[in-house]
Amino acid sequence: MNSNVLIELSHVVKQFENDLIVKDLSLKIYENEFLTLLGPSGCGKTTTLRMIGGFEKPDSGEIIINGKIFNYLPPYARPINTVFQKYALFPHLNVFDNVAFGLKNRNKKYLLKFFNVDSNLSKKEQNELIKSGINKAVIEALNLVKLKGFENRKITQMSGGQQQRVALARALINKPQILLLDEPLAALDLKLRQNMQYELKEMQKKLGITFIFVTHDQEEAMTMSDRIVVMKEGVIQQLDTPKKVYNEPVNRYVATFIGESNIISGVYKNNGNVAFLNVDFKCENYPFNDNEPVDVVIRPEDFDVVSLDQAKLIGTVTSSIFKGVHNELDVLVGDYKLMVNTYENYQVGDKIGLKIDPYEIHLMKVSDNEETI
């Protein structure tokens, strides 16, 4: 990722019938960036992606690509390709022809330029160079998605994962500057999806293409993205690196959507102190006023289980579930139930002590709208 802005959405608004779906959305996307639009179903991620791709027009606002306004240009006139969730492959064509399609349906002028063919050559020579260029490009694209040797396979004889790779190869063959991916892994089983996440990230780094990825799966977003745009009802809630979104969510909505978290009402005290669950804790300095109510976020893995005499909080285990590596506990402190992850084993009914390092306590402004998701 570098600091050159490639795409800018400026005050983009989109309405369907009487529903405002994207509300005054502004966003800058950088060259070589892997950016993910993340949010629950219906929050406007796909609509935003489709406006960037040219499949929908914004009602107002601007979509600027490479410094030029692109609002009204059709998809084929944009330096963009798209991979859809449902692959959209041609079942009657084999793998080669599906991948070649991205180039074959371009006009000759485009292809002469794309393959650097000398326009002074005879028509026959030009056509031959284009044909061999397409052959080479298909093989290269199939190599890239690890489908070398599958050229003659029928699409119907490929697995879901392989079909997704064909769709990727088809989108990459004409070397777009930007690749849009709309939940491309949703139909794959978990293991395959995890492999593809890793491969997509590697591919993006290697090719230096800007990827804009849409998902409702927060883990997927965390694994692959340079930055994540968390959306709710057509509005960006937070735009940050995965680490920041996880460790420093700006509000309850983000904290709840990204991973598990305890969100506890507290009161900020001057100079990096916060009181919650009737106990004073040291935290980092925040720009809150003395005695200002705050929402305190503590991730379940950020509690230390300690002996009772060292504890800041003492609670009773009300549930303990083994999760493979760690145990997930519910711990009742007063009448508040905390989620706590620990590698140690505890039984329901055990009394345990908890401590939290100051930098693991994250404070947020109390949301006006307490609704989460």
The smaller minimum CB distance to ligand ATP, of residues 85 and 127, is found at 85
The smaller minimum CB distance to ligand ATP, of residues 233 and 350, is found at 233
The smaller minimum CB distance to ligand ATP, of residues 53 and 300, is found at 53
- CA pair distance 145, 262, nearest whole angstrom: 41
- Tell the smallest beta-carbon distance from residue 285 to ligand ATP (Å): 37
- CA pair distance 44, 232, nearest whole angstrom: 8
Closest CB to ligand ATP: residue number: 46
- Tell the smallest beta-carbon distance from residue 44 to ligand ATP (Å): 4
- Tell the smallest beta-carbon distance from residue 111 to ligand ATP (Å): 33
197-256 binders of ligand ATP (CB under 6 A):
216
The helix (run of H) or strand (run of E) holding residue 121 is none
- Tell the smallest beta-carbon distance from residue 43 to ligand ATP (Å): 4
Paired with 65 in beta bridges are 7, 68
Is residue 86 at the binding interface for ligand ATP, with CB under 6 A as the rule? no
Q: For residue 26, what are the CA distances in angstroms to 22, 39, 161, 175, 238?
A: 10, 16, 34, 27, 12
The smaller minimum CB distance to ligand ATP, of residues 284 and 371, is found at 371
Count of CB atoms situated within 10 Å of the CB of 208: 11
- Tell the smallest beta-carbon distance from residue 84 to ligand ATP (Å): 11
DSSP string, 290-354: TT-EEEEEE-GGGEEEE-GGG-SEEEEEEEEEE-SSSEEEEEEETTEEEEEEESS---TT-EEEE
The smaller minimum CB distance to ligand ATP, of residues 14 and 362, is found at 14
- Tell the smallest beta-carbon distance from residue 308 to ligand ATP (Å): 47
The smaller minimum CB distance to ligand ATP, of residues 21 and 297, is found at 21
DSSP string, 136-200: HHHHHHHHHTT-TT-TT-BGGGS-HHHHHHHHHHHHHTT--SEEEEESTTTTS-HHHHHHHHHHH
- CA pair distance 62, 70, nearest whole angstrom: 8
63-82 binders of ligand ATP (CB under 6 A):
none
DSSP string, 182-208: ESTTTTS-HHHHHHHHHHHHHHHHHHT
Site string for ligand ATP, 3-32 (x = CB under 6 A): -------------x----x-----------
The smaller minimum CB distance to ligand ATP, of residues 162 and 238, is found at 238
Can you tell me whether residue 250 is helix, strand or coil? Answer: coil
Site string for ligand ATP, 32-51 (x = CB under 6 A): -------x-xxxxxxx----
# binding residues, ligand ATP (CB under 6 A)? 11
- CA pair distance 13, 16, nearest whole angstrom: 10
- Tell the smallest beta-carbon distance from residue 161 to ligand ATP (Å): 21
- Tell the smallest beta-carbon distance from residue 162 to ligand ATP (Å): 24
Which residues contact residue 208 at a Cβ distance below 8 angstroms, ignoring those fewer than 6 apart?
Answer: 31, 32
Residues binding ligand ATP (CB under 6 A)? 16, 21, 39, 41-47, 216
